[in-house]
């Protein structure tokens, strides 16, 4: 074998070795990248599983997931057929992310939430899901399924044109979607249990346990914002006579209808609870004495104007007495003490309303504490 042949073979072997080393480095780098990606995903999964409640779960998805994976936009669509998730979030999270969508089953079907898509960003198809998303280059839209049931869809957006290019692996996306679906289902179930513990079963409104907690929170908020806080006690007039003459089922119907009519005159930010028996209590944040009195009168008139139906075609005239108190808390005061003072003044005003003839609103003098 002459020298030229040996040199050619040696050169070919060196070239092949260089190529193999290059491939090995690429495989090694890919393995390290996958390992790092897996570690990030395990951390996110741990945070999702550990999230206590829907608010915490949303924070992990919209903040932690976005930061850990270098994403530019996050969105989430959730099927909320009974609007219970919306109700839960209104209590925990007054300001929802603009790319969080709650929809019923019909809207979810129309929006094709069950469709899986990974690829280039197309404005006419995807812009509505991502809000201010003009600079996105790639998106992943992954359905959230649990036991064959569609819970929603997770939306991920990036400015990197290669991140969600055609042919990209979807294992981590599908795993993330599975974990997210389980966590959403668990969070909703936990929230249901919490609501069961603070909800009056007859009326569907909150109970006294919940009210006592919110009273302190609302006083603290009123102190911080230096705004008034109104409180109403509402009592059904001569309720014992209703029970004695018509029976407890009719009495229950009167309580439930009274709760419904009170609620119909309140804002979402107001707090309504059944305080005990035929008595209800309302907190009116950021509402002064004059505005609170108007609400109280509307409630009183709505009961007086229309009888309460029972047993199909039966009707029963019902009136209520109301006691109103209003406080403008000073910063730094003991919130629990201020709350107790507010309740006592409203309760004393209610007692005066009942003793002075019922079916009226009595207002205590507004105070600062």
Q: Express each pLDDT in 173-195 by its tens digit.
A: 999 999 999 999 999 998 888 88
Place of tokens 């509307």: 298
Q: Express each pLDDT in 256-277 by its tens digit.
A: 999 999 999 999 899 999 999 9
* Residue 17 CB neighbours (<10 A): 10
How far apart (Å, rounded) are the C-alpha atoms in residues 140 and 115?
11
Nearest-5° angle of CA 358, CA 215, CA 255? Answer: 40
User: 310: which strand partners?
Assistant: 314
The predicted pLDDT at position 12 comes to 76
Active-site residues, by number, are 278
**What is the reported pTM?**
0.68
**Blockwise average pLDDT, block size 10, the chain, 369 residues:** 71 77 73 66 83 89 89 94 87 82 94 94 89 83 94 95 84 91 92 88 95 95 95 98 95 97 95 97 96 98 95 91 96 93 98 97 93
The predicted pLDDT at position 31 comes to 61
How far apart (Å, rounded) are the C-alpha atoms in residues 279 and 266?
17
Which residue ranges does the chain devote to CATH 3.30.450.40? Answer: 33-196
33-196: CATH topology is Beta-Lactamase (3.30.450)
Number of residues written out for the chain = 369
The predicted pLDDT at position 60 comes to 92
CATH 2.30.30.100 for domain 208-368, yes or no, is: no
CA distances from 338 to 215, 350, 366 (A): 9, 19, 13
Mind spelling out the 3-state secondary structure of the chain? CCHHHHHHHHHHHHHHHHHHHHHHHHHHHHHHHHHHHHHHHHHHHHHHHHCCCHHHHHHHHHHHHHHHCCCCEEEEEEECCCCHHHHHHHHHCCCCCCCEEEECHHHHHHCCCCCCEEEECCHHHHHHHHCCCCCCCEEEEEEEEECCEEEEEEEEEECCCCCCCCCCCCHHHHHHHHHHHHHHHHHHHHHHHHHHHHECCCCCCECHHHHHHHHHHHHHHHHHHCCCEEEEEEEECCHHHHHHHHCHHHHHHHHHHHHHHHHCCCCCCCEEEEEECCEEEEEEECCCHHHHHHHHHHHHHHHHHCCEEECCCEEECCCEEEEEEEEECCCCCCHHHHHHHHHHHHHHHHHHHHHCCCCCEEECCCEEC
Closest C-alpha among 231, 206, 208, 207 to residue 218: 231
How far apart (Å, rounded) are the C-alpha atoms in residues 235 and 320?
5
Token representation of residue 132: 């201010």
Nearest-5° angle of CA 289, CA 294, CA 296? Answer: 90
Which residue ranges does the chain devote to CATH 3.30.70.270? Answer: 208-368
Report the half-sphere exposure of 112 (CA within 13 A, side-chain side): 6
């Amino acid at each position: 074998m002459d020298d030229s042949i040996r040199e050619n073979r040696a050169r070919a072997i060196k070239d092949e070795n260089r190529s193999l080393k290059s491939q090995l480095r690429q495989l090694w780098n890919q393995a390290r990248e996958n390992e790092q990606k897996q570690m990030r995903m395990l951390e996110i999964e741990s945070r999702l599983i550990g999230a206590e409640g829907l608010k915490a779960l949303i924070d992990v998805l919209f903040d932690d997931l976005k930061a850990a994976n270098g994403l530019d936009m996050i969105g989430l669509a959730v099927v909320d057929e009974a609007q219970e998730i919306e109700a839960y979030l209104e209590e925990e999270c007054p300001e929802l992310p603009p790319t969080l969508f709650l929809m019923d089953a019909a809207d979810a079907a129309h929006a094709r939430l069950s469709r899986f898509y990974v690829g280039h960003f197309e404005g006419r198809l995807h812009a509505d899901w991502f809000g201010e998303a003009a600079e996105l280059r790639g998106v992943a839209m992954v359905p959230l399924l649990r036991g064959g049931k569609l819970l929603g869809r997770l939306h991920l957006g990036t400015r990197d044109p290669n991140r969600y290019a055609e042919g990209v692996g979807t294992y981590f996306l599908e795993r993330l979607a599975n974990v997210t679906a389980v966590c959403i289902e668990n969070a909703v179930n936990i929230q249901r249990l919490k609501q069961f513990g603070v909800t009056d079963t007859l009326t569907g409104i909150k109970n006294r346990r919940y009210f006592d907690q919110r009273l302190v929170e609302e006083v603290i908020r009123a102190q911080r914002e230096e705004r008034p806080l109104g409180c109403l006690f509402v009592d059904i007039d001569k309720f014992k006579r209703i029970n004695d003459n018509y029976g407890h089922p009719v009495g229950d119907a009167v309580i439930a209808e009274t709760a419904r009519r009170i609620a119909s005159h309140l804002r979402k930010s107001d707090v309504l609870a059944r305080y005990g028996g035929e008595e209800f209590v309302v907190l009116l944040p950021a509402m002064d004495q004059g505005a609170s009195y108007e609400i109280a009168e509307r409630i009183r008139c709505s009961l007086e104007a229309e009888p309460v139906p029972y047993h199909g075609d039966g009707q029963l005239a019902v009136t209520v007495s109301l006691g109103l108190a209003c406080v403008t808390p000073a910063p730094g005061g003991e919130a629990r003490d201020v709350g107790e003072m507010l309740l006592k003044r409203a309760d004393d005003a209610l007692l005066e309303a009942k003793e002075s003839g019922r079916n009226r609103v009595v207002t205590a003098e507004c105070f600062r504490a």
